[in-house]
Chain A
Amino acid sequence: MPSAIPRRARRRGPRRFTRRDLLVTGVLLGLPILLDLAVIWGPTLASVGLSFTSWDGIGDIEWVGGRNYHDLFTDYPPFWPAARNNLLWLAFLGLIATPFGLLLAVLLDRGVRFSRFYQSTLYMPVVLSLAIVGFIAQLILSRDQGALNAVLARDNPVDWLGDPDLNIWMILLAAGWRHTGYVMILYLAGLKSVDPSLKEAAAIDGAGARQTFFRVVLPTLRPVNVIVGVITVIEALRAFDIVYAVNQGRNGLELLSVLVTDNIIGEAARIGFGSAIAVVLLVVSLGFIVAYLVQEMRQGKVPGGDRETRRGKVPGKAQEKGEEERR
């Protein structure tokens, strides 16, 4: 990596790095870079390449041009339902779970009593693995014994997870259960770092609570808004574990990630074809990743070593401060 070679210092004379320094830096910085390239970026490029072949994992690799993509869009029945489900996932997290998390954060930030209890409880699902969330969902939603049917429909049980028109919504509820707490904690930390004098100034100017929040507080939370947006999109595109734990992503629970996995570890490995689905995921997510990084760069948040961050307050620190106050 030529870019990693230290350049000579401008200010501190010619011998800023000794030979030992260069060795240490080269090895210890080179290792993570190599690993990142070998495990993340190399395979990403390989996926793109393989998506233009008809490889089955064993025989020769044969170039087929865009055929996989053509088949994918026109001749692969599970594709569109899966894409639709991913979109639903995004819409549900973005329009329901995320605003709900924000609402909870705002309520908790108003200094209610027992806020620690509420906070811990609402946040707890985040530490569970998505696979566990899937299993717990089965416990509640199974047709014959599930708790929900015991309450709602004793005589006429609804097959919450088996009905292909219904099950995706149930799974979304389970996913939202976990997502809400995550969003809440991010906003809570952000809200704590908002300068209180801003709110006071708005109040003096005659702004109501709602106006203050939407016109003054929310815009200052822009960095948090961005990260929450990114997390929401990425979660929606990565969604896999819950549906796989419930029924391996069939019967109404198809997702793009499941289709990729099915095509590569199924009995008939269609690696070329599976890669094409993965590339669709890649293109969509890269769009968001690039938009996000551009935004970060413009704010000077991912600057090179020289520039100091503009941002004065560190939400992590604000969080710690809040904790100290509480003790």
Chain B
Amino acid sequence: MTAPALPPRPRVRPGRLGLHAFLLTVSLAFLAPLLLAVYASLRPYEETAEHGYFSLPRHLSLDYYRQAFSDSGMSRYFANSLLIAVPGVLITLFLASFAAFALSRLRLRGATALLIVFTAGNLLPQQVIVTPLYVLFNRVPLPYWMSDSLTMYDSYWAVIVVHIGFQLGFCVFVLANYMRTLPMEILEAAVVDGAGVWTQYWRVTLPLCRPALAALGTLQFTWMYNDFLWALVFISTGDKLPITSALNNLRGQFFTDYNLLAAGSVLVALPTILVFFLLQRHFIAGLTLGAGKG
């Protein structure tokens, strides 16, 4: 890449200029929708209705953000999202890392078959499993302190469990491949020292997997936060929806104020964009870790 230690740059050729022009155009085209959303969210509806979105601003304000937060109760939906995504990511990573450890390091019979079962499961279309889960969750009773609907349906438990089950496949697959690149000697030394399975996993293997775990954690958080379908299907009480699914509430029955919707979209996108910029390296590593091996 653009490492400073490169040999002196050849003088700028026209080809290079063309390349930059092309890349810059594409980049701007990719950015434009987001910038437009931000721009629209800062302007009152009357103004854009009259002059269109491509006009000069006469009036800029953060009113729509205030409105999205106060009138539409977005802070509650944000909290709901965290309530689903945080336990979801942590439990997924814990279960997946142990499964990956057992399947890649313990020399179990049938490890390959299990890996395939996990991996294939993650690739199924969600709609294939949605119906039976919907019926199932409606029939699983939960005590009141766990779910005020008294069933698993219309509770966070349903969404969290599905997230975990669905993402396990991806994480097991990635982590198993990652662990396989670690030198086996470390583990063998630990075994000689009398370490049990738990110690081999928790004290020896897991610390070495920190980069992979960071990458997967970032990626999984974004995916769970961005989920739209599961909450839509398994949660019926509007107040319990996570933010991505609740965005639909900003749309009126007969009239939609698109500027308000734009403000809502920007608010919802903000955490993922922040995560992306702060943890970009992990994020990309997470995707490519999964991709490298499949």
Contacts and interface: CB of A to CB of B under 8 A. Distances in A.
Nearest to A137: B33
A234 B261 CA distance: 29
Contacts of A52: none
Interface stretch (A70-78, A163-171, A212-220, A307-315): A307-315
Contacts of A195: none
A203 interface: no
Interchain residue pairs A-B with the least CB separation, the first 7: A3-B110, A39-B165, A129-B226, A315-B292, A46-B132, A43-B132, A189-B288
A324 to B, nearest CB: 10
Contact of B131 (A24, A50, A304, A323): A50
Interface of B: 1-3, 6, 16, 19-20, 22-24, 26-27, 30-31, 33-34, 36-37, 40, 48-49, 52-55, 95-96, 98-99, 102-121, 123-136, 161-162, 164-166, 168-169, 172-173, 177-178, 180-181, 191, 196-198, 211-212, 215, 222, 225-229, 232-233, 244-245, 247-248, 258, 261-262, 264-265, 268-269, 272-273, 275-277, 280-281, 283-285, 287-294
Nearest to B37: A136
Interface string A101-128: 0001001101111111110111111011
Counting chain B CB atoms within 10 Å of each CB, which of A121, A289, A305 scores highest? A305
B2 A124 contact: no
A104 B245 CA distance: 32
A261 B233 contact: yes
Nearest to B290: A227
B19 A28 contact: no
Contacts of A274: 131
Nearest to A108: B23
- Majority-rule SS of B interface residues: helix
A124 B162 contact: no
A25 B109 contact: no
A186 interface: yes
Interface residues of A, number: 133
Interface in A268-293: 271, 274-275, 277-279, 281-282, 285-286, 289-290, 292-293
B114 A33 contact: yes
Contacts of B30: 121-122, 124-125, 177, 181
A116 B281 CA distance: 11
A257 interface: yes
Given A44-B124, A127-B272, A145 B49 contact: yes
A136 B132 CA distance: 33
A301 B176 CA distance: 11
A139 B53 contact: yes
Interface in A240-287: 240-241, 244-245, 256-257, 260-261, 264-265, 271, 274-275, 277-279, 281-282, 285-286
A267 B180 CA distance: 50
A17 B288 contact: no
12 contacts: A3-B108, A9-B107, A24-B197, A147-B52, A177-B33, A189-B291, A261-B229, A277-B127, A304-B112, A305-B103, A309-B177, A326-B1
Given A21-B197, A230-B123, A41 B117 contact: yes
A175 interface: no
A245 B228 contact: yes
Given A36-B117, A260-B131, A264-B134, A4 B49 contact: no
A18 B3 contact: no
Contacts of A301: 177, 293-294
Contacts of B283: 127
Contact of A111 (B1, B113, B165): B1
A140 B40 CA distance: 10
B5 to A, nearest CB: 9
Contacts of B164: 35, 39
Nearest to A282: B128
A136 B104 CA distance: 43
A95 interface: no
